[in-house]
Amino acid sequence: MSTPTPRLGLRALLPCVAISVVTVLIYAGSLDSPFVNLDDLNQIVRNSLVVAPAQAGWLDLLLTPAAGYVIPVTVGVNALLWKLGGGTAAAFHWAGLALHLLFCGGLWWAAQRITGDVRRPWRAAALVALFAWHPLMVEPTAWATGLKDLLAANLVLGSGLLFGSVLGQARPTRAALVWAVVLAMLAMLCKPNVALVGLAFCGALFVEHKFGSRPVPVSAVSTAVILVMLGMTTGAVTRSMQHLLIRDAVEAPLLAPLQTLGHQLSHWFWPVNLHPVYRLAQLPPGGDVHTLFGAVAVLAVIAFAVSQRRAPRAFLSLCVAACVYLPVSGVIAFPRRIADSYMYVPVAGVLLALVPAIDAVKARRWQLPVVGVLLAALACQSWQQSQRWSSSLGLWSPVSDAYPAWPRPRLGLAGAFAEAGNYSAAVEQYSAAFARGYSAASVGDFGAALAQAGRWDDAECVLAEAALGEKDREFSALRNYVVLATSVRRPLRHRAAASFLLPAALGVPLGLSPASLVRLQGAVADLPQLTAVPPPWPQASCDLLRPSPEWL
């Protein structure tokens, strides 16, 4: 039987308004913050599809190959915000807050539809506030690159609401099904981790078929099947692109998904010291207690899903949560195993599924103050977390303290100092990072920082290694090497590398000025011999690139 659409009056809307006001206060202090050194520079600031879309080809705009995903909707929205905001991050932060508020409003509406009862709106509002003010939601909301998560989440929620509205109907509205497909497809083109949403719809239809009072209409089944096919296509294309872009193979231990889930749950129940990245490689899944937490959580979700089989909309919410989380759970190997933003839609789905159970709980006097204190504590913690996302240094410094032997946070700090023009501090952090482990992707940036800091001999060696190992077509390391070799009046220390790199630079588009090109031709003419074969250059040939025995 279909749940009637609730009629919402002023009394029912008041909690939603209160939640929105507090949410705005939580993020108000970070709305004018700059881009941070975590994908913002590559995905937005240096992304030609965002900053100059008119100069890009239509195929690049459609497939967005540099992003590693097929996300034309996200790239298009980013390009619009870049134009509207004049190239500043403020437009992205305001858009993130607006999308977060929109999603919370939709979540509250969905909770009311599940119960069909607005006489006790504060119960549904408490769940929505728990979601809106939880520190786990700060990353996608305060992070400019996290906009893709918010866009996909809102579109999935809209698609789920439309599909859920036809459950139990003998003749579902065709427009609702068509728009459910359109919104789900747009969500996949925002972020492909929602590609399995069609399977969630199939699961809801199966339960409706087994336990419902009416036969499942063919049109609803067709809608779910279409979404499954679209999702499989999106997933296959995305996986192929990632194989091309990810340099190093990523291992996925058998128990890694359970370990990942356990850590994600610990961040939900104890949202203190949340970081943009987490290091799990040092913890084998079999020896980590979080793996047990993850296993218990899987069993609990399965048991809860079975108990909700006669509540089609609650079951649908749980299915959406599972299907959106599965691609980022560690089942598919990916360098970033844990991210707070991965939990945005899954947490919302689980909370929606809990609405009937919470609505059935008898009211007690102690409930209101306890819930109030909990929500206030979460709101304060979220405000503190949003302040961390206000600067790159504030974002990476706690990660460096939490993982002293991990090079990743020091690379983040180095990039932050370089963006701020403090190249001496950037060199110090790059040196500390490479002392803890070699990072091929950061060699070129290290060399550029050395050159800016005036350490030209070290810069020549590091940039030569970066240019010799460069595999992309931007040739940024080669360009920096050429600029250093032709602009600074000093003898070249590594003649064999120069004999190969400088002549090779004449044959690739580096975007050099006419004066720089003339200097390059003169430098090539001054070389005693030229070679078309790269010289032998083992990895970490420069002293600054070798890991320190202290950290091995």
Reported confidence tier of residue 1, pLDDT bands at 50, 70, 90: very low
pLDDT in tens, 325-352: 998 988 876 666 789 999 999 999 999 9
Reported confidence tier of residue 390, pLDDT bands at 50, 70, 90: very high
CA distances in angstroms from 112 to 58, 108, 126, listed in the order given: 43, 6, 12
pTM: 0.91
Q: Is the pLDDT of residue 358 over 50?
A: yes
Q: What one-letter code names the amino acid at 262?
A: G
What confidence score (pLDDT) does residue 490 get? 82
Q: How far apart, in Å, do the first and last CA atoms of the chain sit?
A: 63
Of 314, 318, 325, 326, the residue nearest 302 (C-alpha)? 318
Q: Is the pLDDT of residue 3 over 70?
A: no
Q: How is residue 44 annotated by DSSP?
A: I
Q: Is the pLDDT of residue 245 over 70?
A: no
Q: Is the pLDDT of residue 94 over 80?
A: yes
Q: Is the pLDDT of residue 117 over 70?
A: no
Interval 241-263 mean pLDDT: 71
Interval 194-201 mean pLDDT: 93
With beta carbons less than 8 A apart as the criterion, state whether 259 and 291 touch. Answer: yes
Distance from C-alpha of 348 to C-alpha of 263, rounded to nearest angstrom: 18
Q: What one-letter code names the amino acid at 35?
A: F
Q: What percent of the chain has pLDDT over 70?
A: 92
What confidence score (pLDDT) does residue 238 get? 75
What confidence score (pLDDT) does residue 338 get? 87
Task: Give the mean pLDDT of the chain.
Answer: 88
With beta carbons less than 8 A apart as the criterion, state whether 342 and 328 touch. Answer: yes
What confidence score (pLDDT) does residue 474 get? 66
Output the furthest CA–CA distance in the chain (Å, rounded).
89
> Picking from 115-124, 204-213, 317-326, 524-533, which range would have the lowest pLDDT averaged per residue?
115-124
pLDDT in tens, 21-72: 999 999 999 999 999 999 999 899 999 999 999 998 888 898 888 777 889 9
Interval 154-160 mean pLDDT: 97
Which phi and psi angles does 258 have, rounded to 5°? -70, -40
pLDDT in tens, 523-551: 888 888 888 888 999 999 999 999 998 88
Q: Is the pLDDT of residue 118 over 60?
A: no
Distance from C-alpha of 129 to C-alpha of 127, rounded to nearest angstrom: 5
Distance from C-alpha of 441 to C-alpha of 336, rounded to nearest angstrom: 15
Interval 164-189 mean pLDDT: 88
Distance from C-alpha of 417 to C-alpha of 400, rounded to nearest angstrom: 14
Reported confidence tier of residue 381, pLDDT bands at 50, 70, 90: very high
Phi/psi class of residue 475: alpha, beta or left (left: φ > 0; alpha: ψ in -120 to 50)? left
What confidence score (pLDDT) does residue 532 get? 86
Q: Is the dihedral of CA 429, 433, 439, 440 positive or negative?
A: positive
- Read off the tokens for 117: 């009862």
